[in-house]
Amino acid sequence: MKPSLAKGTRDFTAEEVSRRKYIINILQKNFELFGFQPLETPSFENLSTLTGKYGEEGDRLIFKILNSGDYTSKVNQEDWNNKSHQKLTSQISDKALRYDLTVPFARFVAMNHGKLTFPYKRYQIQPVWRADRPQKGRFREFYQCDADVVGSESLLQEVDLVQLYLKSFADLKVPVTIHLNNRKILSGLAEYAGITDKLIDFTVALDKLDKIGKEGVVKELLEREISQESIDKLDFLFTQSDDALENLLQLKEKFAGNEVGTKGVEELEFVLTRSVSLGVDIQNLVFDITLARGLDYYTGAIFEVKADEVQMGSIGGGGRYDNLTEVFGVKNIPGIGISFGLDRIYLVVEELGLFPAEATSKVEYLFANFGGEETLDALKLIMQLREKGISAELYPESAKINKQFTYAEKKGIKNLVFLGEEEIKNGTVTFKNLEAGEQKTVSLEEFLG
């Protein structure tokens, strides 16, 4: 059997794991700096927990888990013959791999709301799974790094999350732009164009503007039975200026008498003006009126982060979801959250050459193995180094020194240590820095520092 990977999955080498930890450590430090506490949830949930939360397209990408046992014997033959997808699914699968971290978090809040202190701030760094088509920067198994606040309607939470995004990417040295919109603005646009009953169809199509362009969006809107007259009223969406506040002013005029749209404009204006008052460069914030993200559960602010210097999809996103816990029978727990796409961030940092040397974990010292009693002295010295937090190892066999050199070089070990009979007798250590090519002998005390 020829070994292979499932499509959309990857192995991670030691270097890749170390670099991923570098990104995660920066994000985790900032999450905790902003007052978020860690949480972990199971890798799979009840299928009913996940379905109906991500829109029609999202539901199709949920990885379902087959029930254990001889499930086919329990399936009604008529369902097999009719290929009734919904009936078949309910009979052969009642679990699924989590699609994101937000819905499991909402489930957790609904189950534990009586024990939590609100507003409750949590961060979560775990893998998620989507049955998507693999491509550059898009995988079927990938990590999300989320920060959410529930139990507060204050727009200051949105302002704080903008700060969290910008500080985290500044620490990673990745220049970014945060694109913002508001679900209420999208609802207002639907009302303005007379397509309130087609809100989801409208937002799903609009969210694809970056991928399929204006013509593609218009074509999809027509296919979704949205009239040309309504599309003409929305034509201004495709010719927005670069001035976020100017675009908001234009919307205010169009939304005269439109309560929900006006509310969305006011909320977004608050977030933009407060962020700028706190020193955020307005150039880092873009009011993207076409930003929809295609998810059913957003009710207010919508965020999407893009790297300025790399052609890549969004590397972060999120929004406000004031009604999400209601589907679990718990009302009046508003929430807002953002996510960092670890895998895409990794590709951006790598392409920009921003990983520092210390982001790659390497062994500091390899002790050459001469065989005999010297190995015991080498192991004792290695123990002392490890107690000081310095990485060291002994080459396992008494092999030719060239073989040991080659091992050290291929593994990227910085120093090769020689602790032979002469060094043990004199209380010294000889080591060669493989990067500089320099070799020297020092006392045991000096070596241990």
The burial of 431, by beta-carbon neighbours within 10 Å (0-12 exposed, 13-18 middle, 19 or more buried), is given as: buried
CA dist., res. 280 & res. 87, Å (int): 52
* Total number of domains constituting the chain: 2
Please name the residue that has the structure tokens 């050290």: 408
The answer to whether 288 is annotated as binding is no
| Backbone phi, psi, residue 57, to 5° | -70, -40
DSSP conformational letter for 138: B
Same domain, 233 and 303: yes
CA dist., res. 347 & res. 340, Å (int): 13
- Pull the structure tokens for residue 401: 């020194």
The answer to whether 298 is annotated as binding is yes
In this structure, is residue 388 part of a structural domain?
yes
Who's near 398: CB < 8 A, 6+ residues apart?
369, 370, 371, 372, 375
Q: What's the Rg (C-alpha) of the chain?
A: 28
Where does a domain end: 327, 351, 375? 351
The dihedral built from the CA positions of residue 168, 171, 173 and 177, taken in this order, carries a sign that is positive
The answer to whether 148 is annotated as binding is yes
DSSP code per residue over 386-431: HHTT--EEE-SS---HHHHHHHHHHHT-SEEEE--HHHHHHTEEEE
Where does a domain end: 307, 331, 351? 351
In this structure, is residue 399 part of a structural domain?
yes
* CB contact at 8 A, 320 and 336: yes
pLDDT tens, the chain, 449 aa long:
999 999 999 999 999 999 999 999 999 999 999 999 999 999 999 999 999 888 788 889 999 998 876 656 655 555 555 555 555 566 788 899 999 998 999 999 999 999 999 999 999 999 999 998 887 767 899 999 999 999 999 999 999 999 999 999 999 999 999 999 999 999 999 898 889 888 888 888 887 877 888 889 889 888 888 889 888 888 888 887 778 888 888 888 889 889 999 999 999 999 999 999 999 999 999 998 888 875 567 899 999 999 999 988 899 999 998 877 888 999 999 999 999 999 899 999 999 999 998 888 889 999 999 988 899 999 999 999 999 999 999 999 999 999 999 999 999 999 999 999 999 999 999 999 998 999 999 999 999 98
The answer to whether 293 is annotated as binding is yes
In this structure, is residue 4 part of a structural domain?
no
Same domain, 366 and 427: yes
* E strand segments, 48-139: 64-65, 95-97, 120-129
CA dist., res. 369 & res. 365, Å (int): 13
How do beta strands 285-287 and 176-182 pair? parallel
In this structure, is residue 78 part of a structural domain?
no
* Rounded alpha-carbon distances, angstroms, from residue 84 to 93, 303, 383: 14, 37, 64
CATH number at residue 370: 3.40.50.800
The answer to whether 365 is annotated as binding is no
Please name the residue that has the structure tokens 């816990």: 325
In this structure, is residue 65 part of a structural domain?
no
The answer to whether 101 is annotated as binding is yes
* E strand segments, 135-284: 141-150, 176-182
The answer to whether 297 is annotated as binding is yes
Domain that holds residue 394: 362-448
